[in-house]
Amino acid sequence: MLMVTRQLRDPDISPCLSESDASTSYFLKYKSWRFWNSIIIQRRQSGVQPPMPTAAERDEILGATGKMPY
């Protein structure tokens, strides 16, 4: 880990570590929601039922992207 990163993750140096982690988590959840919401919109426009992909389809979609899209 880089020295700067290590310092930012040190609770003795960064008093807002838990708030920073909570903020990061919030934005990751929001990015995830936006990704899956765009999939739902595309499926509705194409007439695909159900609009939300099943668990197997979600795994396939994530596998096709090669990485987490968010």
Supply the pTM of this predicted model.
0.74
Question: What is the spatial distance between Cα 56 and Cα 46, in angstroms, rounded to a whole number?
Answer: 19
Q: What is the pLDDT of residue 56?
A: 96
> What are the tens digits of pLDDT across the range 25-60?
999 999 999 999 999 999 999 999 999 999 999 999
Question: What is the spatial distance between Cα 12 and Cα 36, in angstroms, rounded to a whole number?
Answer: 38
H or E element, residue 39: helix 17-46
H or E element, residue 68: none
